Amino acid sequence: MGLAAHSNAELLAEQAAEFGPAHVAMVDEAAGKRLDTMAPEAPILRGQQGIEELAAQKADIVLCAMVGAAGLKPILRAIEAGSRVALANKEPLVMAGPLIVAAARSRGVEILPVDSEHNAIFQCLHGHSRDDVECIHLTASGGPFYGRPRSELARVTPEEAANHPTWDMGRKISVDSATLMNKGLEVVEAMWLFDLPVDKIHVVIHPQSTVHGLVEFTDGSILAHLGLTDMKFPIEFALTWPERAGRPMGRLDLTQMGALTFATPDFSEFPCLSHALEAARRGGTAPAVLNAANETAVAAFCRHRIGFLEIAEVVEHVMQECPTDREVTLESVLRADREARRQAETRIGVLGA
């Protein structure tokens, strides 16, 4: 067993003492030095290379949860090792879906979705032929600003954007939820997870976050997955599949739910969703460009370099200006990622001047 973290050396040391992993890995070099002083029994792997070395070790299952493009190479290393992958970070499939899917098929590796919406779709699809699927519906809460006029959003702060109404998530994912880019990335991810064209993947606004995903079949029937807003459920499902653990961490009381509402997203209010769907339709390395531009823009917003509405502006500019390749290879994806980040930084400098 192995454990990895970005910079929380103290928690990783506690977990290593409790579970006794064969190896631990720490991305942040300074945190790795702190971990040295805590004298864990397991050898310490450091930096991005250390994470990749850890992922390359054969395991029953590898849970991949690194946010952003940093998770791409570790996932490929885990697949090369023949380990089942529980995928909690959407960006690698967004960047390099064809590459990851082809690698998994060639090695006979299963990829199990941990993201709550994709985990829900996975459960609803189980036992059904893809030929019987009319479409799938990914639900979106709408984030903290759903229903607010766009004129107010220019003044929102990173702290407000990170205050998600129904889920407790990290800052980057929370900001993506506020712009609805998170849902756009999930559309691209769903294309590769479920082998469906973009036009068969629909987004619906569902503020209660009780229905996590729906599958509509060709006969008109719809299967929906309902549950509490707690990521422990999809994580446990992926780790124990095809069995169910049978240890409920809480139960949804149907009599206390109240009304469940659904609405079509307003693309003029959520332009990031529109940009993501455009990238999905263009294919090739366009989704990698989208992801890199968004990561760079969100980081700039969180550091107060640009405003909330300028996230979408940066993404749109880079999508228009950055060249893309039709062929998806590791080299073409990383090249697109670098160029998109460079152009995004240039645009952010103009906007912040």
Check pLDDT > 80 for residue 18: yes
Whether 207 and 142 have beta carbons less than 8 Å apart is answered as yes
Compute the average pLDDT of residues 179-187.
95
**Contacts of 298 by beta carbon, 8 Å cutoff, 6+ apart:** 172, 175, 176, 311
Confidence of residue 327 (pLDDT cuts 50, 70, 90): very high
Compute the average pLDDT of residues 219-244.
93
pLDDT of amino acid 40: 67
Shared-domain flag, residues 210 and 147: yes
Mean pLDDT of the chain: 91
Task: Report which of 289, 266, 265, 264 is spatially closest to residue 276, judged by C-alpha positions.
Answer: 289
The pair of three-digit structure tokens given for residue 233, joined into one six-digit string = 């459920």
The values of phi and psi at residue 203, to 5°, are: -110, 130
Tell me the torsion sign for CA atoms 158, 273, 95, 97: positive
Compute the average pLDDT of residues 270-296.
96
Beta bridge partners of 135: 216
pLDDT of amino acid 303: 93
Does 58 reside within a domain?
yes
Shared-domain flag, residues 226 and 287: no
Check pLDDT > 70 for residue 166: no
Shared-domain flag, residues 186 and 99: no
Compute the average pLDDT of residues 44-57.
91
Compute the average pLDDT of residues 3-21.
90
- Domain residues for the domain of 304 are 283-353
Does 102 reside within a domain?
yes
- For residue 314, the domain's CATH number is 1.10.1740.10
Confidence of residue 39 (pLDDT cuts 50, 70, 90): low
Q: What is the DSSP letter of 219?
A: T
Shared-domain flag, residues 145 and 264: yes
Whether 85 and 112 have beta carbons less than 8 Å apart is answered as yes
Cβ neighbours of 80 (radius 10 Å): 15
Does 319 reside within a domain?
yes
Shared-domain flag, residues 203 and 134: yes
First and final CA of the chain: distance in angstroms?
Answer: 49
Distance of alpha carbon 295 from alpha carbon 198, whole angstroms: 22
Whether 339 and 299 have beta carbons less than 8 Å apart is answered as no
